[in-house]
């Protein structure tokens, strides 16, 4: 029996948390541009005084690997459960019937950024 997409399309809604050493406004600009570059839609974004960046965006499932890559390239370190969930999502998408790739997924992302002085300490000192 071949795998088929369900007749009732339920969008993939994910919530993930992460951390970053990138300055909040720079991170938000970088993520916004990258999501739009992958064909996604930014529905909501913001940054708090405490350095928390939040973003809600949607994208086609077929772009899941690109979205995963853009998060890492922008400097977001997802939580362990976030990495596991996104990896499973990408594998599930790849193994599904090709028509499922056009389904819409949403990601509600919360990233806690570090203050500049702490980020400087956390950055590697370079090659030994």
User: pLDDT for 11-25, tens place per residue?
Assistant: 588 999 999 999 999
pTM, two decimals, is: 0.78
- Local structure of 2: helix, strand or coil: coil
Quick one: CA dihedral 60, 64, 57, 3, positive or negative? Answer: positive
Q: Would you call 57 exposed, middle or buried from its count of C-beta atoms within 10 A (0-12, 13-18, 19+)?
A: buried
Residues sharing a CB contact under 8 Å with residue 70, sequence separation 6 or more, in sequence order: 31, 34, 35, 37, 38
Whole-angstrom CA distances from 49 to 24, 53, 115 are: 10, 10, 11
Predicted local distance difference test score (pLDDT) of residue 5: 47
pLDDT in tens, 78-93: 999 999 999 988 888 8
> Which DSSP category does 96 fall into?
S
Per-domain boundaries in the chain: 12-116
């Amino acid at each position: 029996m071949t795998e088929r997409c369900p007749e009732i399309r339920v969008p993939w809604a994910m919530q993930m948390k992460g951390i970053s050493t990138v300055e909040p406004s720079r991170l938000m600009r970088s993520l916004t541009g990258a999501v739009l570059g992958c064909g996604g839609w930014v529905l909501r974004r913001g940054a708090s005084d405490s350095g928390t960046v939040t973003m809600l965006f949607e994208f086609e499932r077929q772009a899941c690997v690109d979205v995963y890559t853009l998060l890492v390239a922008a400097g977001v370190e997802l939580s362990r459960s976030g990495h596991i969930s996104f990896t499973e999502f990408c594998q599930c998408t790849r193994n599904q019937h090709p028509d499922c790739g056009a389904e819409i997924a949403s990601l509600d992302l919360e990233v806690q950024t570090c203050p500049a002085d702490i980020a400087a300490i956390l950055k590697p000192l370079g090659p030994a």
